[in-house]
């Protein structure tokens, strides 16, 4: 699998090098062709980005938001899926123009990409099996088995727990499954995603414990140096907030005004 991924990345890189010379990306479409905004995401993060079983359509809050931003800026939006930890490398390799994946704005990531203005307030939370009464907060996770998604703030937080055995998965579903199967004691993930998961039926076997651990803001990431696109995105985001479109999308997925 690793070998296959490496090959795939090499192929994508080669393709990027070839297409770099002949337009296609947002900068090069000034000649009248529909400008394309290439968006990368990781669709195991409901309700922000997901794909229904057997469908290649991307749905969720982030997906509606980027389509609205694209429309506002006159772009044709093309979304592709990749691992969460592949998003920033894909931006840097110019394989995508924008990464939108419930990505928290962190100091480390700010060294690598430019973030838009924050568009959603989030934070981490701990989830355990419903019948577990020993783990009441993150402090009780010392020496325990924690399942997380690779490259996420939840994974970084889990790594800091003393003596914990952290297993990182490529997607969120697999991390949750590990816990469901009894192979992990807890999952650390973003609060809105865990709450949505519980509301969608997960509460039959899981529950969250303790308070939201910290405050994190989601931002839209673009390649360093692409200040123009970042400024355009902020402008569109602002306009969507002014004209009510942002609230409409927010209400569709979260059911309350922001
Ligand atoms: N917000 C978290 C992060 O940025 C998780 C994002 C995700 O899993 N899509 O790391």
Instruction: Return the ligand 1 atom nearest residue 172 CA.
Output: 8
Pick from 9-18, 30-39, 235-244 the range whose average pLDDT is largest. 235-244
Q: Which atom of ligand 1 sits closest to the CA of residue 84?
A: 9
Contact 67, 77 (CB under 8 A): yes
C-alpha R_g of the chain: 19
- Nearest Cα neighbor of 49 from 229, 202, 190, 258 is 190
Quote the ligand 1 centre to 101 CA distance (angstroms): 7
pLDDT at 244: 97
> Alpha-carbon distance 155 to 136, whole Å?
19
| pLDDT exceeds 50 at position 89 | yes
Q: Where are the alpha helices (DSSP H) in the chain?
A: 2-20, 61-73, 87-92, 107-110, 153-159, 172-180, 191-199, 227-242, 245-254
**At 30, phi and psi to the nearest 5?**
-70, -5
Q: Measured at the alpha carbon of residue 174, what is the angle toward residues 173 and 180, in degrees to the nearest 5?
A: 90
Rounded to the nearest angstrom, the distance between the alpha carbon of 102 and the centre of ligand 1 is 5
pLDDT of residue 24: 39
- pLDDT > 90 fraction of the chain, expressed in percent and rounded: 84
How far apart are the CA of 168 and the centre of ligand 1, in A? Answer: 13
Mean pLDDT of 103-107: 98
- Asked if 216 and 104 count as a contact pair (C-beta separation under 8 A), the reply is yes
Residues at CB less than 6 angstroms from ligand 1: 42, 45, 84, 101-104, 149, 152-153, 190
- Using the mean position of ligand 1's atoms as its centre, give its distance from the Cα of residue 155 in Å: 9
Distance CA 42, CA 120 (A): 17
Q: Measured from the CA of 45, which atom of ligand 1 is nearest? A: 9
Q: What is the pLDDT of residue 53?
A: 87
* Ligand 1 atom 5 nearest Cα: 152
Residue 18: what pLDDT?
Answer: 43
What confidence tier does 5 reach under pLDDT thresholds 50, 70, 90?
low
Q: For residue 151, which atom of ligand 1 is closest to its CA?
A: 10
Q: Whose CA is nearest to atom 10 of ligand 1?
A: 152
Residue to mutate, 51, 60, 61, 101, ligand 1, most ligand atoms under 8 Å from C-beta: 101
Is residue 176 predicted with pLDDT exceeding 80? Answer: yes
- 85: buried, middle or exposed (CB in 10 Å: 19+, 13-18, 0-12)? middle
In tens, the pLDDT along 207-222 reads: 999 999 999 999 999 9
Specify the 3-state DSSP secondary structure of 181: coil
> Which of 8-22, 81-95, 114-128, 129-143 is least confident?
8-22
Phi, psi of 215 (to 5 degrees): -105, 130
Task: Pick from 42, 190, 220 the residue to mutate for probing ligand 1's pocket: most ligand atoms within 8 Å of its CB.
Answer: 190
Q: Which long-range contacts (CB under 8 A, 24 or more apart) does 61-67 make?
A: 61/120, 61/249, 61/250, 61/252, 61/253, 61/254, 62/100, 62/101, 62/102, 62/218, 63/100, 64/249, 64/252, 64/253, 65/100, 65/119, 65/240, 65/246, 65/249, 66/37, 66/39, 66/98, 66/100, 66/220
Q: Is the pLDDT assigned to residue 8 strictly greater than 80?
A: no
């Amino acid at each position: 699998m690793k070998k296959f991924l490496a090959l795939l990345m090499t192929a994508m890189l080669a393709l990027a090098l070839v297409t770099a010379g002949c337009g296609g990306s947002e900068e090069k479409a000034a000649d009248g062709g529909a400008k394309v905004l290439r968006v990368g995401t990781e669709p195991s993060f409901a309700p922000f980005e997901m794909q229904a079983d057997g469908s290649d359509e991307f749905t969720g809050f982030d997906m509606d938001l980027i389509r609205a931003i694209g429309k506002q800026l006159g772009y044709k939006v093309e979304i592709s899926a990749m691992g969460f930890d592949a998003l920033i490398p894909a931006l840097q390799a110019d394989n995508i123009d924008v990464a939108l994946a419930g990505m928290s704005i962190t100091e480390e990531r700010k060294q690598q990409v430019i973030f838009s203005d924050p568009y959603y307030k989030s934070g981490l939370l701990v989830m355990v099996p419903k019948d577990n009464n020993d783990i009441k907060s993150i402090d009780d996770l010392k020496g325990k088995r924690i399942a997380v998604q690779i490259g996420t703030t939840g994974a970084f937080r889990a790594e800091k727990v003393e003596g914990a055995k952290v297993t990182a998965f490529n997607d969120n579903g697999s991390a949750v499954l590990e816990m469901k199967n009894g192979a992990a004691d807890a999952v650390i993930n973003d609060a809105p995603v865990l709450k949505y998961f519980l509301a969608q039926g997960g509460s039959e076997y899981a529950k969250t414990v303790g308070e939201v651990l910290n405050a994190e803001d989601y931002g839209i990431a673009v390649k360093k140096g692409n200040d123009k696109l970042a400024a355009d995105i902020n402008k569109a985001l602002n306009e969507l907030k002014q004209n009510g479109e942002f609230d409409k999308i927010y209400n569709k997925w979260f059911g309350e005004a922001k």
